[in-house]
Chain A
Amino acid sequence: MVAQQLLNGLFLGAVYALFAVGYTLVFGVLDILNLAHAAIFTASAFAAFSLAAAGVPLPLAFLGAAAVGGVLGVLLDRAAFAPLRRRNAGTLVPLISSIGVAIIIGAVLRGIYGVDERHFVTGALDTAQAIHLGPVTFTTVELTIFVAAVALMVGLSWVLRATTLGRRIRAVAQDRIAAALLGVDLERTIAATFFIASSLGGAAGVLTGLEYNSVTLDMGSPIELKGLAIIILGGMGSVTGAVIGGFIIGAVETLAIALGLSEWRDAITFGVMFVILVARPSGLFGKRALRQA
């Protein structure tokens, strides 16, 4: 049973990590918490549902929906964050504007899709093979989702390390003013960051929707807070930290359930986060030391 639980934790953690990475990218570059991230997660899941329902093959629907998430992220920045940047409004005020956008996205989704749960009606999901590998069981769908999540995170890592865009993003994250002085086009880099972060968050949404074959208006709320715990744990602004943090939280949750402590699960997750935060305020991999307010 332990092996099966570990596997459960691994699969859970992969998607959490993918979601958290989007949070941490935006924070690293802009020092703000994007509280519309969960709404974009949900919007992409619905987009994938619509594309699949229109006959688009799943892999394409997945990519298309992730791109939709990316575009939403760019729009979010234009509408909610950029105007405030121009007015030098600090880091608290954008939190509120992102809440406003989250509400708008939710209302639009409800207007289009109604309140009912949606399901992917597709042969690939129905015929998901259960694979038995020694003491553990999983399905081809679960495996595909895990591989997709890992692939995306590896891809992101590569983009950040090896491409010009990645260098620019890291420069802006390090020191916005210096980067601007060195000729980096701030607004374009920020827009690109939002596109990447939100398409990853959107991808996490699609994968979550596929995993449980369920797309609902409120599918983003459980992960919204967990994402925060993960990026603290892993270290704000650190992509590696977000990934490892995601797996750790996935494991902690699964372990809590396996030990019969399911109803304390959230308290344990945040308790772990709290302890790490107090002992090591920059998180496990935080490159940033304590940020001054």
Chain B
Amino acid sequence: MNALAEFYARHSQLIDQIGINAILALSLSVSLQAGQLALAQAAFMAIAAYVTAILTLTYHWPIVATILVAVIVATLVGAALAYPVRRLRGVFLAIATIGFGEIVRVIANNLGITGGAEGMSGLPQDANTATIYAALAIVALVLFSLSRTKFALAVALVREDEHAAAGVGVDVGAVRTLSLALGGAIAGLAGALYAHSSAFITPTDFGFERMEQILVWCVIGGVTSPLGAVLGATFLSVLPELIRFLADYREITNGVILLLVIVFAPGGLASLWRRGPVRVRV
């Protein structure tokens, strides 16, 4: 038991990061499961993180209340975003949502209330590991129970063939809106937790680099399942520390690993468990 306690004392920050990253990856996998390449997770994360930070630092709200409000705001933004992008698909949707992310980042960078480029420091770091992993468990539970509903069926139909889905009476627009809203909620939760576990947030925490990172976690882990998302986030969060001994060669190793995994297992790490070919068309 002592060894475990020591391990935790030495790596608690990384453990917390993995938890939050897993939640972020799950939020994207929700969109990907619906066949939507909606890359707005970093933006939802940003909005939630800033709402949380402002409520915490300026208004001294308790942690649970800030998380709740942040998640609600992020969900509403997700639902609202579904409207202007309702006719966009594939790469068009991806770029539009990346653009949305940039707009959010610039707004955060230029407003006084968000601290601008100087960010918001002095955050209380009061979300402990238990809180983060409890949130992760809740998200996993919610997604698992959703996967057994007709909604999940509708989502899968929309992903495979939108026209056929509409043909059998699925309200495609509603499915897309709901999945974006759900993605917003989960990413918002991650963002709020991020603001409560980090001492400092700044607009560059939530830019295209972050979005790219989340995308890589999901695809490397495997887009067809939430397990894949968690796997990818865990593996890639730990990787920098695992290969730290490579020093100068860490960067190129990173790129090579990405390339090799994706070329030899396009279905991601999760697909290595499965039997048979995995259809990964998004």
Asked whether the complex places CB atoms of A and B closer than 8 A, the reply is yes
Residues of A within 8 A of B (CB): 27, 31-33, 35, 79-80, 83-84, 87-93, 95-97, 99-108, 110-111, 225, 228-229, 231-232, 236, 263-267, 270-271, 273-274, 277-278, 281, 290-293
> In whole angstroms, what is the CA distance A104 to B260 when docked?
12
Known: A95-B215, A103-B252, A229-B95. 10 other contacts (CB 8 A): A31-B90, A33-B94, A99-B216, A100-B257, A100-B259, A225-B98, A266-B105, A271-B99, A277-B88, A293-B90
Main secondary structure of the interface of B (DSSP, over half): helix
Separation in Å of the B95 CB from the closest CB of chain A? Answer: 5
Is the pair B96, A277 in contact by a Cβ cutoff of 8 Å? yes
Chain B residues in 8 Å Cβ range of A229: 95, 99
Whether A232 contacts B95 by the Cβ 8 Å rule is: yes
Tell yes or no: B36 within 8 A of A by CB: yes
The total of chain B residues at the interface (CB under 8 A) is 50
Per the bound structure, the CA–CA distance linking A289 and B32 in Å amounts to 22
B219 to A92, Cβ gap below 8 A?
yes
Max chain B C-beta neighbours (<10 A), residue from A27, A103, A106: A103
A90 x B280 contact (CB < 8 A): yes
Of the A-B pairs whose beta carbons lie under 8 Å apart in the complex, a sample of 28, sorted by A's number, is: A27-B91, A31-B90, A80-B259, A84-B263, A89-B266, A91-B282, A92-B32, A92-B37, A93-B280, A96-B220, A96-B262, A100-B259, A103-B254, A106-B251, A107-B249, A107-B252, A228-B95, A263-B109, A270-B100, A271-B103, A273-B96, A274-B96, A277-B96, A277-B99, A278-B84, A281-B88, A293-B36, A293-B89
Alpha-carbon distance A267/B88, docked complex (angstroms): 20
Give B231 Cβ to nearest chain A Cβ, in Å. Answer: 15
Chain A contact residues, majority secondary structure: helix
Interface string of B217-247 (1 = CB under 8 A from A): 0011001000000000000000000000000
Q: A103 touching B258 by the CB < 8 A rule?
A: yes
Contact call A267/B36, Cβ cutoff below 8 A: no
Q: Kindly state whether residue B69 has any CB partner on chain A within 8 Å.
A: no
Contacts of A291 in B (CB 8 A): 89-92
Q: Which residue of B lies closest to A110 (CB)?
A: B251
Most A C-beta atoms less than 10 A away, residue of B36, B87, B281: B281
Complex contact A278–B85 (CB within 8 A): yes
Known contacts A33-B94, A97-B262; A270/B103 CB under 8 A: yes
Given contacts A229-B99, A270-B102, contact A100 B89 (CB under 8 A): no
- Evaluate contact between A92 and B95: CB separation under 8 angstroms: no
Chain B residues with CB below 8 A from A80, complex form = 259, 263
Q: What residues on B are CB-neighbors of A103 within 8 Å?
A: 251-252, 254-255, 258
Q: How far is the CA of A89 from the CA of B280 in the complex (A)?
A: 6
Give Cα distance in the complex from A46 to B128, angstroms.
Answer: 46
Asked if B255 and A267 sit within 8 Å, CB to CB, the answer is: no
How far, in whole Å, are A93 and B222 apart by their CA atoms in the complex?
A: 10
Chain B residue numbers with a CB within 8 Å of A108 are 252
Chain A positions within 8 Å of B105 at CB level: 266
Cα A99 to Cα B216 with chains together (Å): 8
The 8 A-B pairs at the shortest CB distance, nearest first, are namely: A103-B255, A100-B258, A100-B259, A107-B252, A104-B255, A270-B99, A267-B106, A90-B281
- Give Cα A135–Cα B103 distance, bound, in whole angstroms: 34
What's the Cα separation between A176 and B106 when bound, in Å?
40
Residue on A nearest B94 in the bound complex, by CB: A33
